[in-house]
Every structure is written in C-alpha cells, then in structure tokens.
Amino acid sequence: MSYMERLPRNRTYLMCPPQHFTVEYAINPWMDTTAAVDAELAVRQWESLRTTLTGLGHVVHVLDPVPGLPDMVYSANGAFSVDGTVYGARFLYPQRANEAVEHRMFYQRGDDWRFVAPEHVNEGEGDFAYLPGAYGGIVLAGYGFRTDPAAHAEAQEVLGRPVISLKLVDPAFYHLDTALAALDDRHVTYYPEAFSPASQRVLAQLFPDAVLADRVDAEAFGLNLVSDGRHVILNTEAVAMGHKVREAGYLPVHVELSELKRGGGSVKCAVAELRA
C-alpha cells in the first residue's frame, strides 16, 4: 500500500507545554538528574510538534503547565479516552500524582466527557492504546513497570472494550507507548523484545501484519510516535523507523524533540488523543 491510499482521520489532541520541564528526580532509566535541561529549547521543540499537528489539520487543546510538575509535558499519561468515556490516571510515583488532578479538571470542565476516576494505578495512554478498527475495537494495555494489571480489568469495565494485557520486561521501555504504537485504526508497530515471550505470541497472533521494530528503533524512541492513519510523526533521531513506516505505506514526518528524551519520552508521550 502506498501512503496515497492511507487515509488520515482528523484527530483532537491534548498537549501541555514544557515551561516547567526539569529532570529533578529519576523514575525511569533515561532520566539523569545531573545533566542540565534546556527548558526554553524544550518549549521551542514542543511548539514545532504542536504546529506540525495543527498543520496537518488536527485540533490541539493545550493544558496550562503547573509549576512543580516537571513531567506534565508528557500529557499522554494523564488519562485514556474511548468514545467519550475517560478513564482517569493514577500515577505510580507521588511526584506525578497531581498531574491526574489537572487532567481530571480539563475533562470535567464541560459536559463533553463521562469521566471515571480510577481505583488502580494506571498511567493513561502511556500504558493504554486503542485500536478502533481491530476486532471491533480493542484496547492494548501494558504492565510490568507502572500500570497495575488490576487497572486493565478496571479499564475494561469502564470502557466496555476488550483489554489485552501485555507484559513489558525491559526497564528502558517502561510504558507501552515506548514499545508499541498504533499506525492506524487496526495496524500496529512494536519492538518484540520489550515484551515477555508470551506477550510476543499474543501480539503475533493478533497482528500478523505488524511493522516490527528493533532495539535501535526503540532506543531512538521511534515507537513513541503519533499517527493519523497516514502521517506518522516521529522524532528526528528515529531515522530507521521513518524508513520502516514509509516502507509500510505511511508518510513519516520528523520533529526534533531532543530535550524531551531527557525525561524518557518523545512524540507520543507529549500528545494525548481525545476520542470523543
């Protein structure tokens, strides 16, 4: 298939500018508290990601950044929405706990969303992905580092969609969205070795035509991408991953996000999809 045949779908996203971005605590192996972060550069790079998305015709809502919440730029972790229902996040580490409150207030501002507060620890789209066109609409869910597997069952009850639990085994890829991404409504790309052997089997059974990534792709945060079904937005370091998605018929769009990598995230971490 060529990208001319891959049709984009207009999306609505939620992002939060990295005005207060720092690396002052380390909760994943990418975070080095001794290396200086350039918050101004981070904001400029974030801005180019935002305008790339709006330039492609998507709507981007912006959450006000809160001082003292340096990881708030990773807005994907704040909640997970499917067909107008929002399953709220509950962060594992206390340093990020208040981010969930900010996201909750965003959804509860109007009457557009049915917001459900979680009982179990889960980090939103960091560990949940939705494939509306696969098997009638399924959720893929990661566990092993952050999200409690009990939250997978809770999400299934809240959202009324089958939730497939996948076990992450490599601390470098601590969230599902560092190891797997939806390329469109029913196709995924993933790095197999980030998952347990049994979870690799599950993925191979469900997605025999997946685009497989390797360790170099994953370490470049090449799986941490956002796709509208045609355009695949990846960071500039993920060159080989760009070739792979092009080969699969998508159009790669690269954005420089070097500063956000210092916190252990990239494109997808900074973009939550709002599924009304």
Q: Does 257 bind ligand ARG (CB under 6 A)?
A: no
How many residues of this chain interact with ligand ARG, rule: CB under 6 A?
16
Residues 83-112 that bind ligand ARG (CB under 6 A): 96
Residues 14-43 that bind ligand ARG (CB under 6 A): 27-28, 31
Q: 247: buried, middle or exposed (CB in 10 Å: 19+, 13-18, 0-12)?
A: exposed
Task: Show Cβ contacts of residue 91 under 8 Å, excluding neighbours closer than 6 positions.
Answer: 77, 97, 99, 100, 121, 123
Q: How far is CA 75 from CA 40, 62, 63, in A?
A: 18, 10, 8
Q: Does 178 bind ligand ARG (CB under 6 A)?
A: yes
Least spacing, CB of residue 28 vs ligand ARG, in Å: 4
E strands within 2-99? 12-15, 59-62, 79-82, 85-88
Q: 157: buried, middle or exposed (CB in 10 Å: 19+, 13-18, 0-12)?
A: exposed
Residues 113-172 that bind ligand ARG (CB under 6 A): 126
Q: Does 265 bind ligand ARG (CB under 6 A)?
A: yes
Closest CA to 18 of 268, 234, 272, 263: 263
Which tokens belong to 75? Answer: 């807005």
16 labelled catalytic: no
Least spacing, CB of residue 164 vs ligand ARG, in Å: 18
Residue whose structure tokens are 């990601």: 49
Q: Does 76 bind ligand ARG (CB under 6 A)?
A: yes
175 labelled catalytic: yes
Query: Which one among 99, 154, 177, 259 touches ligand ARG, defined by CB under 6 A?
Result: 177
Task: From the candidates 152, 175, 187, 231, give the one annotated as an active-site residue.
Answer: 175
Q: Which residues are catalytic?
A: 175, 269
- Interface residue list for ligand ARG (CB under 6 A): 27-28, 31, 71, 74, 76-77, 96, 126, 175, 177-178, 263-265, 269
